[in-house]
Structure 1
Amino acid sequence: MIKGIDPPVEPFPYKRTKEVLEEMRYNNYVDVQLNPLPYLRDVPLEEKQSLFISKVRQCTNIVRGPARETKYTILVELRDFVRDKQATLSPTVVCPEVIRMFLAHLTWINCPGEPRPLDYDDYEIEDEIIHTHFPELSILYQLILYCLQTIFSDPSGLENVVDRILVHKILNQFQSDCPAERTYMKMILFRIYRNFRNLQSFIRKQISNILLSFIYEREDFAGIREILILYESIETELALPLENEHKLFLQKVLIPLHGTKSFPIFQEELYSCLAEYVYMDSSLGKMILDGMIAYWPKNNSRKEIVFLRQMREFASTMGAVDFPAILEPYYRHLSKVALTNHFKVADELIGLLKDDFIFRTIEEYSELLMPIIVPALKRISEEHWNNMIAYQARKTLRRLEKWSFNLHSTCM
């Protein structure tokens, strides 16, 4: 934690229905009539900025009923005005008003009840939730994105407006039950990260806090996938060679995510983050594979299959230069996995051993690896209950036998 800064993440609320979400999203409705203003295209150039600000102030109000349609129309006009660069606006004048409007809509309200961790089986049901206010929210978020790309692209003079408080609010909104809203938060925060260098370290630190809380406290953060996608984007901005801060993040934060119960939900996003590290520094593959072996799932075939697939990919990504550093523990662990009676796990294991890169490695380091791999395959071929798995194991053994009969016979 950074001294003087509260944690950005509030506890994830009790699982709620769509109706409850619609009632609880906002508690600051304003019953006002949005008076019609001239279209931005119809006023002289010198009046466009003041009219733009007036329209933004109108949209800062949280309204309901017929006023929502008027607000939607105004937001569409504002978005198109910024997107098409119809006039030059002063960032220092416009930014405070736009951010004030944005903050008024970043409202996350907890409701009573026991917190509920993410569940793999009903996660897709959670993703179906769309808030009743999302039509205008989506336009508002698009407006913010276009502002960050154009008007606010130069951070000079905007540091007091786009600040840590705003970052806290955006990170809190990653707990939204609406996946489309979380996606917008990810895009907006990454644009802030790119534009405002003074906030980069802070954003990385808060992402670390969120993930550490997810690992060691409660697995109840709805936007875990979006947070990992955001970090993958941040990785592309990192300078090479990697600093120790980023290697520690890999070791202390990303790798321990393999040990969480909800790992299957975000395994693809986590793999992308880890693969980016290996692309930047292939020697880090050893740390990742060591970590996966340490967090290897027990009595969870679904996770075992995912782990085997990731180990296969990381081995290929490391290549012939760095992979030999982990050969013996890698293959000894695979020989332990061979003890499984689960059909799909055994099938995935044999598929891994038949991979071209893995098989070439066995051939190249045959004296070290054959005594490890051949007994494991022999055990599968003789003892596995599934005939197809046993047949595939015998087929792989024959392939090894053709390559080195003497060594193969010795290992048998």
Structure 2
Amino acid sequence: MFNKIIKLAHKKCSKLEFPENGLQFYEVVVKHASRNAAPAPAPVTITAPAVAPANSDSQNPSPAVPPSNSTVIEPLRDVDESEHRALILQKIQGCCLLCDFSDTVDSVNERETKRQTLEELIETIHSGSFGFSENQEDLINMVSVNIFRCPPPSPHGTEYLEPEEEDRYLDPSWPHLQLVYDILLRYVVSPEIDVKTSKRYIDHVFVTKLIDLFDSEDMREREYLKNILHRIYGKYMGLRPFIRNAINDVFYRFVFETQRHSGISELLEIHASIINGFALPMKEEHRQFLIRTLIPLHKPKSISFYHEQLTHCVVQFVEKDNRLADPVIKGMLKYWPVSNSRKEVLFLGELELVLEAAQCTDSLRCIASLFRQIGRCLSSSQFQVAERAFFLWSNEYFVSLVAQNRNVILPVIFEALENNMKGHWSRVVQGLTANVRKMFLEMDTELFEVCQRQYIEKEAKTIELEEKRELTWEKLEAEAAQALREDIVN
């Protein structure tokens, strides 16, 4: 009876075939979830529920059917070497059977049996007696059946909201998924695996589906995916351009279509390590990635959830080639927030890092437009934005940049400084304004006085125009009243 069950499972879990069309993309850098060493496993019971084949329709696997009977397979350490490989194959095929985690009673034994089997496979891999090269096709099939699945609908709908710590989504099948991901990670990093042979299994379709999983709301899964994909990128040289393009597709879809994706920060972490390895002079492909992909990522409202990783990527580009500071700043000004003060504070912090990384003002051709925006931030009624803008002057490089370009910068921001001194509601902002005015005055007294005279003249003209406007309205009102009286008389 057992042999029939194993043959049935083997047929169901034959080599996977994935369609080229209709695929999405995702990505991750993994931090191992801690797990205590499992005790020596007891004899394992392998059941044989019906399993949907892992083909193009396996994105929506049907729930596992409760088993009708079971057979006991003894632990690997209790068999002769001649039977070792056959028993490993049986256990791999047994792990292709999907358990129903929505059933809290009837499937307990099956779930525990599969967990013990997966742990025994990991123990065998760790001991070095697994034989990756002999079992890699069946192993990848088993991994694919377990991890390539249809994710549950998001409880937040189309808008991405960062959940509270206690409300984070935890996949109920994680006790199995973690072990499967552990097996996949050990397979990818194993020196026993020949890259030329394994490319038949770790191919474009497999990587595409792996990137799709980055939209998982379970952060534990995203961490494993990040680590695995990063190792694949490092080991499989031929897949590198494809992986970069696949990640770009995720970013494009996120920015211009969905505005929702759970794994953007993890994908950016992977790209940060990729950017770190770029050789100089930088290829045009990489420059275009910065301009067409990373800069538009400043547009979404949910930028706060991945801004730290995005900033790291952008700053690395500028550090490698300071001429890129100019297009980066122009792109940030294009997407500068109008009414989102939290996002504006993030932009100011990133701007400071970009300017510090550039360490060169010769390539900056957008000084005037940049400080025109900084001037608006200085006079912002939102005190956090105004304070963050003034804190730029605590950066030594920023002060040196201002000193070198004071003839352009001071006329642009002088009005904002004077308006703050006259009527900003925050005393802290007024004090910071006084410090910056004093700095400019000591830096170039003549220029400061010229700007002050121009400001006074502009104020006088503004008052004169306002008086003329009031006189014009009074004249119009008088004429209208006169016309109304004449109409009444007539």
TM range, smaller chain: 0.7 to 0.9
Percentage of matched positions with identical amino acids:
25
Aligned-residue offset at 1:114: 11
> SS in structure 2 opposite 1:156?
helix
Partner residue in 2 for 1:132: 172
Structure 2: where are the runs of 5+ without partners? 1-18, 27-58, 100-106, 453-490
Q: 1:76 aligns with which of 100, 106, 119?
A: 119
- The verdict on how the C-alpha distance between 1:113 and 1:226 changes in structure 2, with shifts beyond 3 A counting, is closer
Query: Is the contact between residue 271 and residue 310 of structure 1 (CA under 8 Å) also seen in structure 2?
Result: yes
- Which has the greater radius of gyration? 2
Compared CA separation, residues 410 and 58, structure 1 to 2 (3 A): same
2-structure distance, mates of 1:262, 1:126: 20
Structure 1 residues 335 and 176 mapped into 2: Cα distance closer, same or farther (>3 Å)? same
- The alpha-carbon deviation at position 88 of structure 1 amounts to 6.7
Query: Distance between the aligned counterparts of 2:278 and 2:84, measured in 1?
Result: 39
- The Cα shift of 1:146 comes to 1.1
What CA distance in whole angstroms lies between the structure 2 residues aligned with 1:380 and 1:411?
16
Structure 2 CA distance for partners of 1:76 and 1:281, relative to 1, 3 Å: farther
- How far did residue 303 of structure 1 move? 0.9
* CA gap 1:172/1:30 in 2 versus in 1, 3 angstroms: farther
Q: Distance in 2 between matches of 1:59 and 1:143?
A: 12
1:7–1:209 CA contact under 8 A, matched in 2: no
State the 1:7 CA deviation. Answer: 4.7
Asked if the contact 1:25/1:109 (under 8 Å) is kept, the reply is yes
The answer (yes or no) to whether the contact 1:282–1:322 under 8 Å persists in 2 is: no
| Structure 1, gaps ≥5 residues long | 12-23
Matched, 1:168 2:208: yes
- Matched residue, 2:348: 308
Letter of the structure 1 residue corresponding to residue 301 of structure 2: K
Q: Note the 1:276-287 alignment, pairs <5 A.
A: 276-287=316-327
Q: Please report how far the alpha carbon of residue 231 of structure 1 lies from its aligned counterpart in structure 2 after TM superposition.
A: 2.1
* 206 and 124 in structure 1: CA distance in 2 versus 1, 3 angstrom threshold: farther
Structure 2 match to 1:55: 91
CA shift in 2, pair 1:346/1:321, >3 Å: closer
1:338-357 aligned at under 5 Å gives the runs: 338-357=378-397
C-alpha separation in 1, matches of 2:238 and 2:119: 31
2:119 is aligned with what amino acid? V
Residue 261 of structure 2 corresponds to 221
Distance 1:131 1:229 in 2: 23
Q: Residue 258 of structure 2 aligns to a residue in which SS?
A: coil
Task: Select between 317-326 and 182-191 the one with higher mean Cα deviation.
Answer: 317-326
Contact persistence 2:378–2:386 (CA under 8 A): yes
Find the aligned partners of 2:87 and 2:95 in 1 and give their Cα distance: 13
Relative to structure 1, the CA distance from residue 409 to residue 254 in structure 2 (aligned partners, 3 Å threshold; closer, same or farther) is same
**Contact 2:215–2:263 (8 Å) recurs in 1:** yes
Partner of 1:86: 128
Tell me which of 49, 64, 74 is aligned to 1:29: 64
Which string of whole-angstrom CA distances, capped at 9 and with x for unpartnered residues, describes residues 9-51 of structure 1?
299xxxxxxxxxxxx9852415346744343444555654443
Counterpart selection for 1:271 from 311, 327, 344: 311
Residue 17 of structure 1 is matched in structure 2 by none
Structure-2 residue corresponding to 1:329: 369
**TM-score normalised by L of structure 1:** 0.86
Matching residue's letter, 1:8:
L
Q: 1:236 to 1:364 in 2, by over 3 A?
A: closer
Per mean C-alpha deviation after superposition, the further-off stretch among 228-237 and 265-274 is 228-237
After superposition, the Cα gap between the structure-2 partners of 1:236 and 1:74, relative to the gap in structure 1 and judged at 3 Å, is farther
Q: Distance in 1 between matches of 2:193 and 2:276?
A: 19
User: Counterpart of 2:282 in structure 1: which amino acid?
Assistant: L
Write the distance in 2 (CA, Å) between the matches of 1:144 and 1:114.
Answer: 29
Q: What is the count of residue pairs matched by the alignment?
A: 394
Matches within 5 A, 1:226-265: 226-265=266-305
The one-letter code sitting in structure 1 at the alignment partner of 2:120 is E
Alignment of 1:103 onto 2:103:
no
Query: What's the TM-score once normalised by structure 2's chain length?
Result: 0.73
1:389 to 425, 429, 433: 429
Change (3 A) 1:395 1:114: closer
Q: What's the C-alpha RMSD, in Å, of the aligned pairs? A: 2.8
Residue in 2 aligned with 1:14?
none
Q: Which segment drifts farther, 124-133 or 53-62?
A: 124-133
Quick check: 1:8 aligned with 2:23?
Answer: yes
- Partner amino acid for 1:79? I
1:62-91 CA distance string (max 9 Å, x none): 134212112212222222332x35237252
2:301 match: secondary structure: coil
State the distance in 2 between where 1:300 and 1:261 align.
Answer: 9
Kindly state the Cα deviation for residue 57 of structure 1 after the two structures are TM-superposed: 1.7
CA contact (8 A) 2:299 2:335 kept: yes
Question: Judging changes above 3 Å, is the alpha-carbon distance between structure 1 residues 39 and 327 closer, same or farther for their aligned structure 2 residues?
Answer: same
